[in-house]
Amino acid sequence: MTTFQLLLLIVAGGVFYLFFKQLFSGNHPKRGVDFEAKVADDQIGGINRPDKTFSTPEVQPTRMEQLLKMTDEAVAQDDFEEAKKALGSALIIDENHTEVLQKMGYVCMQTGEYEEAKESFEKLLLLDESDDMAHVSLANVLHKLGDEEGAEKHHERAIALDPEYAPHHFNYANTLYDLGRKKEALLGYTKAYELDNTLEEAEKMMKELGSDNE
C-alpha cells in the first residue's frame, strides 16, 4: 500500500466516523416533526418564502352580529318585514339585548304595529329606566295609541334626562302641536332651535306658529 492510498484510507475512515456519530446522536432533523412557533407571531419562511408564513385567522362575526347586519341592510331597503324576522331570531338568542329591542321598536313603528313597539320600549325601560331614547320612543308610540297622558309623561322624562338634546324638545313639541296646544308647542320648537339651529323643521314651525299669534 502506497503512502497516498494510506492517506485516502485515513480520510475515508474519518468521514464515516463523523457520519455515523451524527446519525446516532439524535441531532439530525426528524421527518414528521412539526415546526413549533415560540411566540404568537413566530413565522416560517420570511423574506425569501413569504408564502410560508403564518397568518392571523380572520375573526368571524357572531350570529348576533350577523342578524343585526341583516336588519340594517333590510331597513336600508325599507324591507321592514325581513328586518323583523332577523330581529325575532336575535331575540331568541338574547331577549334582553338592548340594541335588538331598540331596533325592533323602530321597525314595528314603521309597520304600524304600535302595541309591539310599545312592548319593546317598555322592556328597554325595565332594563334601564334612565334610557332617554327609550322614553321618547315610548312617548311617540303612546301618542300614536292615543295615550296622551302617558306620552306627555315620557316626553318630559326624556327631556329631564337630557335637557340639552334638541330632538327631545322637538318631539314633544310635535305631540303638543297634534293636541292643539300650539303655544306650548311653539315654546318647544323654539327651545329645540336654540339648542340646534340646523333643525330647519323647528324653524319652519316657529315661523308658522309665530304668524298665527300675530
The fold for domain 62-162 equals 1.25.40
Euclidean distance between CA atoms 195 and 161, whole angstroms: 15
Residue 114 confidence class, pLDDT cut points 50, 70, 90: very high
Question: Residue 22 has what pLDDT?
Answer: 56
In sequence order, the 6+-apart residues with CB closer than 8 A to the CB of 192 are 166, 167, 169, 170, 173, 199, 202
Across the chain, what does the average pLDDT equal?
84
Please determine, for residue 41, whether its predicted confidence score (pLDDT) is greater than 70: no
Please determine, for residue 19, whether its predicted confidence score (pLDDT) is greater than 90: no
Euclidean distance between CA atoms 25 and 18, whole angstroms: 10
Question: Residue 34 has what pLDDT?
Answer: 46
- pLDDT > 90 fraction of the chain, expressed in percent and rounded: 69
Question: Residue 12 has what pLDDT?
Answer: 63
Between 55 and 127, the higher pLDDT residue: 127
Please determine, for residue 42, whether its predicted confidence score (pLDDT) is greater than 50: no
Average pLDDT for 79-104? 96
Please determine, for residue 140, whether its predicted confidence score (pLDDT) is greater than 50: yes
Please determine, for residue 82, whether its predicted confidence score (pLDDT) is greater than 70: yes
What does the DSSP assignment read for 155-208?
HHHHHHH-TT-HHHHHHHHHHHHHTT-HHHHHHHHHHHHHH-TT-HHHHHHHHH
pLDDT digits (tens, 9 = 90+) for 150-194: 999 999 999 999 999 999 999 999 999 999 999 999 999 999 999
Confidence (pTM): 0.71
Contact between residue 191 and residue 170 where contact means Cβ atoms under 8 Å apart: no
Domain spans of the chain? 62-162, 164-214
